[in-house]
C-alpha cells in the first residue's frame, strides 16, 4: 500500500545523514587498517556478494529490532498518556468537590469541618501526585 505524500517536517535529514555516514565510513576505514592492515580493496579473495548479503540480513534484523522497540515504546507512551488523562479527570473531580465542600461549609459556618475536608482533599491530591510521579518514573525506565 503506497504512503501519502509527506507533510512539511521539522529538520532536514540529509546533512545529518551525510555527516554520520562520513564519520562512520572514516571509522570503518580506521578499523580496517587496525585489524587487517589495509582498507577494503577489490580482488581481495573474498566473495563480496556473499559478504553483502550477510550484511543485508544483519541490516534487516536491526530494522526489525527498531520496529519492535518503537511499537513497544508507542504502546507504553499511550498507556502513560491514558493514565495521565485519568489522573487529570480525577484531580478535576476532586477540585470541583473541594469547591462544592467549601461553599457548603461557608454556608454552614463550620470552620472545623472545613479544615477536616481540606486535609482530606490535600491527602487525596498528594496521593494523585505520587501516582503521577510513579507513572512518569515507570515511563522513563
Position with higher pLDDT, 74 vs 1: 74
What pLDDT score does 26 carry?
97
Predicted local distance difference test score (pLDDT) of residue 84: 79
| The pLDDT value given to residue 58 | 95
How many Å apart are CA 85 and CA 77, to the nearest integer? 12
* 8 A C-beta contact, residue 103 and residue 91: no
Start-to-end Cα distance in the chain: 35
DSSP per-residue letters across 112-129 = HHHHHHHHHHHHHHHHHH
Say what the pLDDT of residue 110 is. 64
Q: Which grid cell is 52?
A: 553483502
C-alpha cell at 47: 566473495
Q: What is the mean predicted confidence (pLDDT) over 72-94?
A: 84
The pLDDT score that the predictor gives to residue 4 is 93
Residue 137 has pLDDT above 90, yes or no: no
* Cβ contact 107:70 at 8 Å: no
Which of 83 and 47 is assigned the larger pLDDT? 47
Residue 108 has pLDDT above 80, yes or no: no
Tell me the pTM.
0.52
Quote the mean pLDDT of the chain: 87
Higher pLDDT, 41 or 110: 41
* Contacts of 90 by beta carbon, 8 Å cutoff, 6+ apart: 128
Using CA atoms, how far apart are residues 99 and 110, in angstroms rounded to an integer? 15
Task: Give residue 88's pLDDT band: very low, low, confident or very high (50, 70, 90).
Answer: confident
Q: How far apart are CA 132 and CA 122, in angstroms?
A: 15
**Is residue 123 scored above 90 in pLDDT?**
no
Amino acid at each position: 500500500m503506497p504512503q501519502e505524500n509527506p507533510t512539511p517536517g521539522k529538520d532536514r535529514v540529509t546533512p545529518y545523514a551525510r555527516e554520520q555516514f562520513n564519520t562512520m565510513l572514516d571509522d570503518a576505514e580506521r578499523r580496517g587498517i587496525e585489524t587487517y592492515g589495509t582498507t577494503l580493496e577489490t580482488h581481495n579473495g573474498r566473495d563480496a556478494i556473499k559478504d553483502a548479503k550477510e550484511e543485508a540480513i544483519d541490516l534487516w534484523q536491526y530494522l526489525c529490532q527498531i520496529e519492535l522497540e518503537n511499537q513497544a515504546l508507542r504502546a507504553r507512551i499511550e498507556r502513560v498518556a491514558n493514565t495521565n488523562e485519568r489522573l487529570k479527570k480525577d484531580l478535576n473531580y476532586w477540585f470541583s468537590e473541594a469547591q462544592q465542600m467549601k461553599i457548603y461549609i461557608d454556608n454552614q459556618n463550620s470552620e472545623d469541618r472545613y479544615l477536616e475536608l481540606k486535609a482530606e482533599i490535600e491527602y487525596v491530591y498528594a496521593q494523585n501526585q505520587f501516582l503521577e510521579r510513579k507513572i512518569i518514573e515507570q515511563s522513563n525506565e
